[in-house]
Structure 1
Amino acid sequence: MSVVEKFIQQLVVFDIFVMLSVNCVVVFSSRVGDENVKCLHTEKEALLTFKRELLDVDGRLSSWGNEGFSQDCCSWRGVSCDNQTGNVIGLDLRGPSGPNASVAIAPLTGKISPALQELKQLKYLDISYNRISGGIPDFFASLSKLEYLNLSCVGDEFTTIPINLGNLSSLNTLDLSYNGFLSVNNLEWILHLRQLRYLAIGYVNNLNNSVYTWLFNLSNLTHLDLSGNALYGSFPDAFWNMKSLQHLDLSRNALGGGFPRCLGSSSNLKLFRLSANNLDGQLPEIMRNLSCVSGSLEYLNLEENHIGGSLTDNVANFASLRELRLGRNKLNEYFPGVVGKLPSLVILDLSWNRIEGSVPDLSLLSSLRELYLSHNQLTGLTESFGRLSKLEKLYLDFNQLEGTISAAHLFNLSQLRELDLSYNAQLHIRVSSDWIPPFQLDLIRFAHCKLGPEFPNWLLNQKNISELDFSASGILGDVPSWFWDQLPRVSFLNLSYNDIAGNIPDLSNKMSDLLCIDLATNKFSGPVPQIPTGVVTIDLSSNMFSGTISFICDNFDYLGYLDLSDNRLSGELPQCWTLRTIVHLNLGNNNFFGKIPNSIGSLQTMGMLHLQNNHLSGELPRSLANCKKLRVIDVGSNNLSGKIPAWIGNNISDIIIIILRSNRFSGSIPSSICQLTKLQILDLSDNKISGTIPKCINNLAAMTEEESIMQQIKSWYFQVNDEGDVTINASYDETAVLTWKGRQFEYSSILGMVKSIDLSSNNLVGEIPIEITSLVGLHGLNLSRNNLTGNIPLRIGQMRALNFLDLNRNDLTGEIPAGLSQLSHLGVLNLSYNNLSGRIPLGEQLLTFDNRSYIGNDGLCGRPLTEACSLEELPQDPSLIDEDEFITEEFYISMGISFLSAFLVVSALILNKRWTYGPLRYLEVNNVTSHSAILSS
């Protein structure tokens, strides 16, 4: 549990204990007193009836009336009794509460039995985090002694809150939060709850500003949670009149504007959360407006707003402040040294801002345990960090830190558990080879720092590492043999983009907790190592691994991402494809041979399949039609044959990229491909495909849109446990190698912007269908080296996004359409070796191409060719030229297209660079898991 959670828990527990009466405290204590006092028979029967209405998968209520357990209901799990009368006064049946639940248990499901009405003395009722159907029962109002009622997160069938809950005059704690189907239209009944001190109605349905009408009359509230609702407008200054408030949570609403000044000095507010709203204004003014709570405030969270400015001296007045969260705002200028004047501060979060300069001396923050300064523009550090003896978490990633981190920066950090210095490309980490760190780290991230060239020997002293990221950190040479035995608890290991060599031993027993391993782009060799079957992500690409991949036959329960591309692997692909959770499979650029096994069709969660640049033969297996989530299929540069299967369009509707180039596919292009409305890249080049280009090609809807709805083709894979809590959430940018302007480039972070068709080097016949000109979003069109006849479509000028057009070596006739001169983005044009005739159209765009774009057309004349045109071929008086032939509406539109847009798209398309460093960069790892669910976005 984090320091924040402990701190909040302490506040909440304190509030609850203050609010509850002496009798209610008995609920939390052991049963003492007369040993002969037992529960009442009527109440025992009521509990058994209540139990019969519920489904209890994990036997949480197994002690209730079952043989072998006590028949005294006061000793049953979750039941508390008055130790004098034997009356049941408490039921604590709270279910699993999110990913941090201490025990993995299933929730209770079913209805709440009316038999609970028999518990006349019930004071405490908690059935939160279960799956209760039927709504909040009206009979709750008859439980007149009830003081504590927690119905948070109990299902999805609630409609409205029974207004007779207002009869619970003794109620001091009410929690209805996290019930998205609970409609809160009227809270007038709440005014009758005069004893109410704790109210939580966060994340419910239909709760808006009308709630203020009733809440501001509850002057005795100490805890109010309205988070995750639809509150809007400015922060109401009436909150300052609620002098008893100690905890106010308005996070994740739509509150905006400035911040009202609080008046007086009698406020007792300790926790104030306004994160994830639309607040703007300057931070110095906001802190001044909070002056009335400067003496009491311990927790302030304003992250994820639009607040500018910087911390000024007035923050020093908040001497009690223990946690200050201002991340994800617009704070600028230099790092505020004033934060060093907050002696009680335990957590400081200034991440994701625009803070510049060096981090000042913070050694006076003697209580500081967590410091988050990620994603700023910081350039320097001082050795004062080494004196923060209580510091447990230090995050300085994604800054512009320069210089050297030495042992002096870290010498007294004996409590440090998490250290992230990654993505500071000019930061050197330099310690002696015999340095013994004062800490035991759980998390180490030095990605994209200057850590190498030697492998850090100080890791020998670290026994508790669960996450290690040394990617792109300049490490050279072999991994020491001790390293693989040093990480028995590691779940996340990333050594990618270094120059590390050597063989990897069997990891299946050495790293039994391993979830994610990324060793891509190194010089590892030998066979692919055995890896624990609980792993979720494996990236061993761009190394020198050899041998077969028989390990695929192991029972990987959760594997979502497997990349073994660019190695020296060989043999036939295994028949035993049992990766039931795989989303991304990349075996490209190896030496595999033989047929693609039919069993690969069992990978029904697969979204990305890369088998390119191998020696695979035979046809595409029909079983792939079962992989209905496929979005990318790349089997280019193999020896595959047969017809292009119709199921590609008939069975798989979400496919975005099809690359079948450089194989031996024959037959015609199936018309079913026209059903792929999301298709953006189609490469069938260098095959033996015959027939005509389908006229239905204009149905490729994604190619008819000039603007791309996505920049990356991003996919996600998840792992969830028994309670449905996500424990691993990983995303990655899909990559593809495309032939562009005669060269091959790998695209990743801009792949979603690329739209192209390449049908070159086939045996296509017939005319270029006029329907192709409807694909106005196309950036590249290559129909070269076929047997196409007829004219170039006259309306080709409306394809304004074209950057690359290649029609060379066909039998095209007629004139070059004047509309070609309107394509202002056109960077490559090749019309050579056809039977085109007439004058090359005038226009500055076409004059930018040299004669190589037009040679081999004996009937062409005019610049840039040397053949002059005859008088008959000279243009008429411009005033007589038909506007529809040349100066069209599209011409004016094209001339108005932004130069910036052209620069971003065209320049990006020629980058031969992989912009990302593997999927693990986006990974979040939480707790141990049991089940897996795979989704693709």
Structure 2
Amino acid sequence: MLSSWKNEECCSWSGVKCSNTTGHILVLNLRGNFDTSLTGNISPSLVKLQYLKYLDLSFNNFGGQIPKFIGYFERLEYLNLSFSYNPFTGLIPLQFQNLTHLKTLDLGQNSLTVKSLEWLSNLVYLEYLDLHFSNVQVKNWLQEMIKLPNLRELHLSACQLPVIIPSSLVSANISSSHLSILDISYNRYSSPAINSWLFNFTSLTSLDLSGNDLGQMSSGFGYLNLAGSNQSLEYLSFEGNAFTGSLINLTRFSYLRELRLLENSLNGIFHESFRQISNLEHLDLSNNQMTGSLPDLAFFPSLRELHIQSNHFYGMIPQGISDTMPSWFSKLPPMLTYLNLSYNQISGKIQDLSANNISPIIIDFGYNNFSGPLPTFPQLVSALRIDNNQISGSLNSICKIRSAVTLDLSDNLLSGEIPDCWTLMSVPMVLNLANNHISGSIPYSLCSSTSLSSLYVRNNNLSGQFPASLKTCQGLKVLDLGRNTFSGKIPEWIGTELAYLGILSLRFNGFSGSIPPSICQLQSIQILDLSGNRLSGRIPKCFSNFTTMQLLQDGSSVSYDFNPYTPRVGTLYHGNALVQWKNKESEYRNILWLLKTIDLSSNDLVGDIPKDFSRMNALLSLNLSRNNLTGNIVEGIGLMKMLESLDLSRNHLSGKIPVGLANLTFLSVLDLSNNNLSGRIPSSTQLQGFDSSTYGGNVQLCGPPLPECPSFAPPNLHVGHDSNFQENDDDDEFPSKEFYISMALGFIVAFGGVLGSLLLNSSWRNAYFKWLHL
């Protein structure tokens, strides 16, 4: 940030601006960001800049109390100390009353305490005030703030604002206030607490009441009808207020451009009064309980974004009057940029949308009951989601899309091959075709650029060798080919050409041969799933190269930027993967990037478990079950401290269960069944807490939860911290069946030898009986 602060001419430094006439420093803009921020103390030497008009120290890491000397920049017009990564605390200095020329004061996203507004009264030119996340303890905060004659914008979100007592407002002339933007969201206000004064602000253009308790009134949303002359409002948000009931007359808000009613419990259908809001550009009714058929988009000629997902809308998108003219979908508002109808119950065919000459748009029709063929969409679709419907037929119509960042057509009934038309269009960052009936192979043109970062084609009918076309997809972070019929060997180039992979899933195909050692070069890998194939040979002894699976000395883990969240216009695409986690196959989405798993189960792998597995102490799940592995369980397994799930069942492992296994305090799933393990199960709350089936099929194992070991077996060994204790001490073994047989044979041979000698040798016999007589 200060790299240019080298020469003596400070007016040329980054963040510094000077007067062209006097040379005085007027602007000091040292705003930080997520990558770079300043720390330490704010130096009092700044006070020498007495001509300073603009000071921005936001998004930095100073902390502590706001220095009092900032109150001595008497010419200051703009002051921004917001969003400190180490929030400022304590009181706002009384010296701020000296900032009499201040027009903008932004102290938001700190942890300040406001016990008095005495410092505020002198700031008569103040137009913008942001104190959000402060603790405002002034009972008459509203009266004091609206006294400022030029105040236009007030942000008091999550300030624990005291309730306004109506009788205290007698002397406050709210109607004469020039306040235009008011944000009092997340202050736990109830309807009676604000209804007596809030809508007397006749000049408001933006009002944010999100995250309050306004739904407590018995009439729910109905109290809006009591509002006075609010025809100036352009932005209104009631997100998350527990509103119930149906939408009612909104004609008093006919100038609204953005209306946010998401995360409530509104029901019923669209009200006819919506027809009066002709300027509406953004409407969000998502996550409610509204029913009925979809609204006619002709209601909203200016609409840019529509969010009505997660409701109970049903019915069909109406057919047009003629075969070639769809109904209102052919008349999408020309400025529409976001159309979200997901999570409803809409059925029928999606009409051809290619005739809409609209700007780049996000279309989300996911999680409905749409059927029929895949229609043609506008060329400028930037993100298209029609996942979880019943769309059938070929994929060919996607070839007309030119600029998509995200294409998600998963969980449908699509068939045919993936079209080879990607050189004619912009390759998306995300292509999700999972859970369809697609056949053929991956076309070469899909990797015609390095844009593709996530490819999901699991659970289809794709076949052939490992797709050689993927060799040039060098930007891939997620590759999911699971549950297809691919065969042949996993190519050696996978570790070098696809070096950025964070998720590799080849589960349940027909891959054969050995696991290529080059796979250990996947430095970003966090989910490796090769289960359910015909892989043979030994497990490579280089898995410890997966540095993402290892904890650092401070206990944190290495993290690479493979995060499968992919940005798109206004939102993020959450990656997903099907993972065998804790004996259950589950699809993970939101927390996918937190998982660290290795699954090599259900193959024909042989040999022992490499000792360096114990170095992967950040691994959460390890599944090596249903192979032909031999040897012992890794002695150092107790070092894998983060392990939550371990499945080594149905192999040929032998020897004792390492005592260190009892030290894995996060272990909640364990399966060691059907091996050749022997000895006593180490005693600990952890290992005895599992069901006996965890250890079943190991005939030489004993001790709780299995039957007790024989009484003459060595004493039970408890997990402890004795430095002299060796985990491989063979004294913990108990006698096997071979031991009993050999002992019996020895007795017979010895006894028979003595008895035979007495019978056959008379001198020995006489001597023996003389000895007995004595």
TM over 0.5: yes
Relative contact order (alpha carbons < 8 A, sep ≥ 6): 1 or 2 greater?
Answer: 1
Q: CA contact under 8 A between 1:334 and 1:355: conserved in structure 2? A: no
- Residue 411 of structure 2: which of 559, 566, 572 is its match? 566
Measure the CA separation in 1 of the matches of 2:602 and 2:60.
58
Measure the CA separation in 1 of the matches of 2:71 and 2:675.
81
Q: CA deviation at 1:446?
A: 0.6
- Residue 202 of structure 1: which of 12, 29, 47 is its match? 29
- Residue 463 of structure 1: which of 298, 301, 305 is its match? 301
Q: CA deviation at 1:768?
A: 0.8
**Equivalent residue for 1:120?**
none
- Asked if 1:764 corresponds to 2:605, the answer is yes
- Residue 515 of structure 2: which of 647, 658, 669 is its match? 669
Q: CA contact under 8 A between 1:351 and 1:375: conserved in structure 2? A: no
- Residue 355 of structure 1: which of 164, 178, 188 is its match? 188
Measure the CA separation in 2 of the matches of 1:878 and 1:800.
15
Measure the CA separation in 1 of the matches of 2:96 and 2:272.
59
Q: Which amino acid aligns with 1:297?
A: L
Q: CA contact under 8 A between 1:209 and 1:231: conserved in structure 2? A: no
Q: 1:450 to 1:710 in 2, by over 3 A?
A: farther
- Asked if 1:391 corresponds to 2:233, the answer is yes
**Equivalent residue for 1:851?**
692
Q: Which amino acid aligns with 1:512?
A: I
Q: CA contact under 8 A between 1:560 and 1:582: conserved in structure 2? A: yes
Task: Write out per-residue CA displacement over residues 98-145 of structure 1, whole angstroms, 9 at most, x where no aligned residue.
Answer: xxxxxxxxxxxxxxxxxxxxxxxxxxxxxxxxxxxxxxxxxxxxxxxx
Q: CA deviation at 1:708?
A: 5.2
- Asked if 1:269 corresponds to 2:101, the answer is yes
CA RMSD after TM alignment: 3.6
**Equivalent residue for 2:665?**
824
Task: Write out per-residue CA displacement over residues 860-891 of structure 1, whole angstroms, 9 at most, x where no aligned residue.
Answer: 22222246435135437999987534699xxx
Q: Which amino acid aligns with 1:417?
A: R
Measure the CA separation in 2 of the matches of 1:817 and 1:342.
77
Measure the CA separation in 2 of the matches of 1:587 and 1:689.
26
Q: 1:783 to 1:594 in 2, by over 3 A?
A: same
- Asked if 1:472 corresponds to 2:310, the answer is yes
For residues 552-631 of structure 1, the aligned pairs below 5 Å read 552-554=398-400, 556-557=402-403, 559-578=404-423, 579-631=425-477
**Equivalent residue for 1:250?**
80
Q: CA deviation at 1:601?
A: 2.1
Q: CA contact under 8 A between 1:814 and 1:838: conserved in structure 2? A: yes
Q: CA deviation at 1:561?
A: 0.9
**Equivalent residue for 2:253?**
413
Q: 1:373 to 1:592 in 2, by over 3 A?
A: same
- Residue 488 of structure 1: which of 320, 323, 333 is its match? 333
Q: Which amino acid aligns with 1:212?
A: L
- Asked if 1:364 corresponds to 2:200, the answer is yes
Query: Identical aligned pairs, as a percentage?
Result: 33
- Asked if 1:291 corresponds to 2:126, the answer is no
Measure the CA separation in 2 of the matches of 1:553 and 1:800.
49
Measure the CA separation in 2 of the matches of 1:488 and 1:640.
45
Structure-1-length-normalised TM-score: 0.67
Measure the CA separation in 2 of the matches of 1:310 and 1:547.
65
Q: CA deviation at 1:809?
A: 1.3
Q: 1:575 to 1:435 in 2, by over 3 A?
A: closer
Q: Which amino acid aligns with 1:289?
A: W
Larger Cα-atom Rg = 2
Structure-2-length-normalised TM-score: 0.80
**Equivalent residue for 2:155?**
326
**Equivalent residue for 1:839?**
680
Task: Write out per-residue CA displacement over residues 248-296 of structure 1, whole angstroms, 9 at most, x where no aligned residue.
Answer: 23355866643222588x97536122245746112x52x3321112x44
Q: CA contact under 8 A between 1:592 and 1:616: conserved in structure 2? A: yes
- Residue 281 of structure 1: which of 104, 113, 128 is its match? 113
Q: CA contact under 8 A between 2:210 and 2:241: conserved in structure 1? A: no
Task: Write out per-residue CA displacement over residues 626-653 of structure 1, whole angstroms, 9 at most, x where no aligned residue.
Answer: 2222111111000001211222211223
**Equivalent residue for 1:704?**
550
Q: CA deviation at 1:747?
A: 1.0
Secondary structure (helix, strand or coil) at the match of 2:391 reads strand
Q: 1:860 to 1:201 in 2, by over 3 A?
A: closer
Task: Write out per-residue CA displacement over residues 361-401 of structure 1, whole angstroms, 9 at most, x where no aligned residue.
Answer: 4221111111123345554553234741111111222x232
Measure the CA separation in 2 of the matches of 1:448 and 1:870.
64
Q: CA deviation at 1:509?
A: 1.6
Q: CA contact under 8 A between 1:582 and 1:603: conserved in structure 2? A: no
Q: CA deviation at 1:816?
A: 1.5
**Equivalent residue for 1:449?**
288
Secondary structure (helix, strand or coil) at the match of 1:791 reads coil
Q: CA contact under 8 A between 1:256 and 1:277: conserved in structure 2? A: no
Q: Which amino acid aligns with 2:447?
A: G
**Equivalent residue for 1:63?**
none
Q: 1:439 to 1:340 in 2, by over 3 A?
A: farther
Measure the CA separation in 2 of the matches of 1:679 and 1:671.
14
**Equivalent residue for 1:47?**
none
- Asked if 1:427 corresponds to 2:254, the answer is no
Secondary structure (helix, strand or coil) at the match of 1:856 reads coil
Q: CA deviation at 1:403?
A: 2.2
Q: 1:671 to 1:238 in 2, by over 3 A?
A: closer
Q: Which amino acid aligns with 1:415?
A: Y
Q: Which amino acid aligns with 1:745?
A: S
Q: CA contact under 8 A between 2:548 and 2:559: conserved in structure 1? A: no
Task: Write out per-residue CA displacement over residues 705-729 of structure 1, whole angstroms, 9 at most, x where no aligned residue.
Answer: 265577997456568xxxxxxxx45
Q: Which amino acid aligns with 2:414?
A: L
Q: CA contact under 8 A between 1:319 and 1:343: conserved in structure 2? A: no
Q: CA deviation at 1:748?
A: 1.5
Measure the CA separation in 1 of the matches of 2:429 and 2:21.
55
Q: CA contact under 8 A between 2:672 and 2:694: conserved in structure 1? A: yes
**Equivalent residue for 1:739?**
580
Q: CA contact under 8 A between 1:570 and 1:593: conserved in structure 2? A: yes
- Asked if 1:640 corresponds to 2:486, the answer is yes
- Residue 140 of structure 2: which of 299, 309, 312 is its match? 312
